[in-house]
Amino acid sequence: MSAAPTAVVGETVAVTEEAERRRPGRPREARADEAIVAAVLDLLNEVGFSGLTIDAVAHRAGVGKATIYRRWEGKEQLVLDALTAGRFEFVEPDTGTLRGDLLAYYLPLTESDAQQGAVGLMPALAAEAAINADLAERLRAFVSDRRGPVAAILERARERGELGDDVDLDLTIDLLTGPIMYRLYFSGGPVDPGMIRQLVDHVLRAVGARAT
């Protein structure tokens, strides 16, 4: 997924091979994007998603409101792009065993810091995605992005022979990620190291993983 701002109406993606003919007029200020995204991330920490206003973002970024609306369609798109742009790099653990990798990947989620921001954010984005097809697609892409590391872990395991060729990797990811999100966002159930370990062990048994 690209970190580039949402293309707005008429911004034809005519970036065809050849020339990519410069559009006439003053080009968009590249630094404005950065300033806006930085302001969004700042404000998300300070007032949360629902307390974030476009006026505040504009002021904090030293930017006119129109500059924001020229680049994004609304708060949700903006936040999603800010998150995408500012994403911390995911570690792709490599401990040598499938179980070790999965634990290394999921255990950090039990720290409250990690849960903090996401809990308020993801549901808000999902809610908006329900009535905004474009955002829905962007949200899917964002989520899909985060599936990458787990997919890599599983593929390495398959190469090592820990997983059979018949195992549905997508479903396996959902078996791991689904219960965690469900607890975080909806049921409020605990997401602690014990739960993660139990979860991983269940899933390993479900997919018939065999230690090498």
Partner DNA sequence: AGGTAATCGAGACGGTACGTCTTGTCTTAAT
Partner DNA sequence: ATTAAGACAAGACGTACCGTCTCGATTACCT
Please give the residue ranges that form the binding site for DNA (CB under 7 A).
Answer: 22-29, 32, 52-55, 58-59, 62-67, 69-71, 74-75
User: Is the CB of 34 or the CB of 170 nearer to a second copy?
Assistant: 170
Cβ atoms of residues 150 and 92 within 8 Å: no
Task: Work out whether 53 is an interface residue with a second copy (CB under 8 A).
Answer: no
Return the residues of window 147-176 that contact a second copy according to CB under 8 A: 147, 168, 170-171, 174-175
Q: Which does 62 bind (CB under 5 to 8 A by kind): a second copy, DNA, none?
A: DNA
Residue among 31, 29, 60, 30 at smallest CA distance from 44: 60
Residue 210 CA: distances (Å) to CA of 107, 158, 199: 21, 10, 16
Residues 31, 65, 70, 202: which binds a second copy (CB under 8 A)?
202
What is the number of H-type helices and E-type strands within the chain? 9, 0
* Residue closer to a second copy (CB basis): 131 or 211: 131
Q: In this complex, which beta carbon is closest to DNA, that of residue 28 or of residue 160?
A: 28
Rg (CA), the chain: 20
Picking from 147, 154, 152, the residue whose alpha carbon sits closest to that of residue 168 is 154
- In the bound complex, what is the minimum distance in angstroms from residue 41's beta carbon to DNA? 16
**Should residue 54 be labelled a site residue for a second copy when binding is judged by CB under 8 A?**
no
Residue type, 138: R
